[in-house]
Structure 1
Amino acid sequence: MAEWLYEAGIGEDRAALLDDDGQIRRARIVIHGAGPRPGLVAPARLIERQLARLEYGTDVTLDRVPAATPLGAAIRVEITRSAIPEPGRTKPARGRVTDAAPRSAPSLLETLDGAPIRQLGAHEPDALEAAGWSEVLEEATGGDIAFPGGMLRLCPTPAMTLFDVDGDPPLEPLAIRAAQAVALAIVRHDIGGSIGVDFPTLNGREARHAIAAEIDAHLPQPFERTAVNGFGFLQIVRPRLHVSLPELLRADPVGAAARAVLRMIERAPPSTPSRYRLPPAVTARITGRRDWLEEIVRRTGRTPIFDA
């Protein structure tokens, strides 16, 4: 039976939707303190015509502002899209002016729907890992996604997320299998916005129509797409509320590794040695966060020691 697996981790919350076969259909991570998230309504001040600053200093790009609102005015802003990390900069969160009362953004747990939720404890068998959690994270960070007879290469860019299809002939059945794999990967990694897929070049409209039909069959609405052009390229546009899993993990690989280590320490049996040798950057990230260290001690009753 389909179900959500949910963990309240140290530094992040994580969840995976399992299908009827126990495979991960969707994977989600929310990093604690990573900035305003969709659903937040907070006081702000209009500092430019399309830019507001929340009361704790974060800038938000506004979709539209009532014409009569003067610069410097106190307003309330509802976040509609999280900030998006890009190489060398971060694209600010987006929002809109609202009259709604201030409220917190829903937690990851509160956004999980469509299936029962099973909250996991560190003392239990690792159900996330048994379902393939590490493999999904490796797909997100490395970009290689295998499917029968071929391979997808996933590459986020500032303009769009790109998938490149590789595999052995015959090309038409390869492309159709790849289309299904692309649709499933988009859902699994929570990819929104503009998405481009480079399929093998195929002769004939029927083959290109079959590829598009496979996307339609496996990618849930809402989305828009182009036809497959003569060079094998198809573009998809989906709503984008927050950063995708590949963008999230690639934006801060040291932080991702540090949080993964904390998860490992939390799940370690009491007899496991408390001394750990890690890459210097990961050690520095963990030891630089007093809140993380206090929480791992609270949860395990042990103080980890990190060798330089």
Structure 2
Amino acid sequence: MPEWLIEEGIGERRALLIEGDEVLAAKLRWPGELAAGDEFEGRLLRKNGARGLAEHPSGREVLVDRLPRDTSEGASYRFAVARAAMTERGRFKLPAARPANEASPIAEDVFETGIPVRRLPSGSWEEVWHAASSGEIGFAGGSLLFSVTPAMTLIDIDGDLPPRELALAAVPEIARWLPLFDLGGSIGIDFPTLKAKLERKAVDAALEEALADWPHERTAMNGFGFVQIVARLEGPSLLHRFAISRVGLAARMALRRAEMVEGPGATLLTVHPALKAKLKPEWLAELERRSARPVRIEIDPGLAIEAAAAQIVGHDD
């Protein structure tokens, strides 16, 4: 049976759904985030019909809807988070919640029910992380290019196979990476244009089969090869995080690399200058506690942001 494995990283928690040697899905959470399913007692600040604004006990504001008629501004109510906060290019979307008794069922919180492990299987998180960083997935004869926009996540399919073969070859890769990137909301897929209706139906059937276990709604392919998918949106996907917080993600990965090196001496972590400012003192203190080694930071403007390097050096080096 597939199992969720949870790695408690420095500055983030990582989760992979694994069956045998195969990684089926991934999730990422940062400390302090309100997650879908979290319940809280909040004060209703403003009300406009069934919608309004509530105050979380932390002081953060949360959008609320499905408010009963008898709710009053200034009173406190029990709410359940439906969607975590989302940052998109040019705007910040507050978390969204509903009265606890009106909330739609949320899937189990894998970070609470999963199996804690000291380290995820070798290379498994790195594969997902680097794929999300590049936004490009290659397959025999073609590639998928993922692009995050405020309206939807777009998937462009490119390759040198004939259009029908290229579209069908892309389907299993799309089905694989939607849960690996933890994607939700509106997703548009730009397949090669298929003029024959039977060819479009063949791709629709392949998509239906490949996504049978992934909850969603979907349009049929139109004459231009476009398919729209809508899935429950509970928070930022890995792609969204890279679009908005690339340096923060790279800083956390740098700490992970430093934590993984072994041996006596000191940890030398070499990073792009932009990363140094993101390495919080408490994170570095936690790295020293976990590794039982002092940590030194050096900067190298020639390094890519994602290419931090960690090694063990002598105390006097």
Give the distance between the partners of 1:40 and 1:163, measured in 2 at CA.
31
SS of the residue corresponding to residue 127 of structure 1 reads coil
Give the distance between the partners of 1:206 and 1:149, measured in 2 at CA.
22
Alignment partner, residue 245 of structure 1: 238
Give the distance between the partners of 1:36 and 1:6, measured in 2 at CA.
18
Amino acid at match of 2:36: P
> How far 1:290 sits from its partner (Å)?
3.0
CA contact (8 A) 1:83 1:94 kept: yes
Counterparts in 2 of 1:128 and 1:157: CA distance versus 1, 3 Å: farther
Taking structure 1 as the reference length, what is the TM-score of the superposition? Answer: 0.87
Give the distance between the partners of 1:152 and 1:26, measured in 2 at CA.
18
Taking structure 2 as the reference length, what is the TM-score of the superposition? Answer: 0.85
Counterparts in 2 of 1:273 and 1:23: CA distance versus 1, 3 Å: same
Query: Percent of pairs identical after alignment?
Result: 38
Superposition map of 1:1-308 within 5 A: 2-20=2-20, 22-33=21-32, 35-49=33-47, 50-98=52-100, 108-112=110-114, 117=115, 119-121=116-118, 127-129=121-123, 131=124, 133-219=125-211, 220-271=213-264, 273-286=266-279, 289-308=280-299
Give the stretch that moved more between structures: 46-55 or 198-207: 46-55
CA contact (8 A) 1:5 1:128 kept: no
Unaligned runs of 5+ in 2: 300-317
Q: Give per-residue Cα distances to partners, 1:23-56, cap 9 Å, x unaligned.
A: 32212111112x2111211121112222111121
CA contact (8 A) 1:30 1:108 kept: no
Quote the RMSD (CA, aligned, Å): 2.1
> How far 1:273 sits from its partner (Å)?
4.1
Give the distance between the partners of 2:76 and 2:183, measured in 1 at CA.
34
Amino acid at match of 1:77: F
> How far 1:58 sits from its partner (Å)?
1.2
Q: Give per-residue Cα distances to partners, 1:71-121, cap 9 Å, x unaligned.
A: 222222111111111012221111012369xxxx98643254xxxx4x432
Unaligned runs of 5+ in 1: none
Give the distance between the partners of 2:275 and 2:110, measured in 1 at CA.
25
Equivalences, count: 290
CA contact (8 A) 1:16 1:128 kept: no
SS of the residue corresponding to residue 5 of structure 2 reads strand
CA contact (8 A) 1:76 1:98 kept: yes
